[in-house]
């Protein structure tokens, strides 16, 4: 399992546009990828699940990947999050 933690900086939090970009990118990987806020974990391959976490500015999200291409998935997730200014 590979993981990283990120604190959201965007004023709007994890909103639909960047979340959609992130989900679309994660769907390209075979491994399981999850996002978590507190004790709740959801698939990072499902848009409504991710947006449903209600991640706001200043909150921390934990991204985890488990499977054959987990390192690549984590690197891609980090790249999308940083590029989109989350």
What is the rounded distance in angstroms from the CA atom of residue 73 to the CA atom of residue 12? Answer: 24
pTM listed for this prediction: 0.91
Mean pLDDT, the chain, integer: 95
Q: Does residue 8 contact residue 35 with C-beta atoms inside 8 Å?
A: no
Domain 2-83 maps to which CATH number in 3.40.50.720, 2.60.40.10, 3.30.1340.10, 3.20.20.80? 3.30.1340.10
Catalytic residue among 3, 10, 15, 25: 15
Mean pLDDT of all residues in 23-32:
97
Per-domain residue ranges of the chain: 2-83
Residue 85 has pLDDT above 90, yes or no: no
In the residue annotation, 62 being an active-site residue is answered as: no
């Amino acid at each position: 399992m590979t993981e990283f933690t990120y604190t959201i900086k965007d004023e709007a939090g994890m909103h639909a546009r960047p979340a959609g970009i992130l989900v679309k990118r994660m769907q390209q990987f075979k491994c399981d990828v999850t996002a978590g806020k507190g004790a709740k974990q959801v698939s990072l391959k499902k848009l409504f699940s991710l947006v449903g976490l209600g991640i706001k500015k200043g909150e921390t999200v934990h991204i985890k990947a488990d499977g054959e291409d987990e390192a690549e998935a984590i690197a891609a997730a980090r790249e999308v999050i940083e590029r989109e200014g989350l």
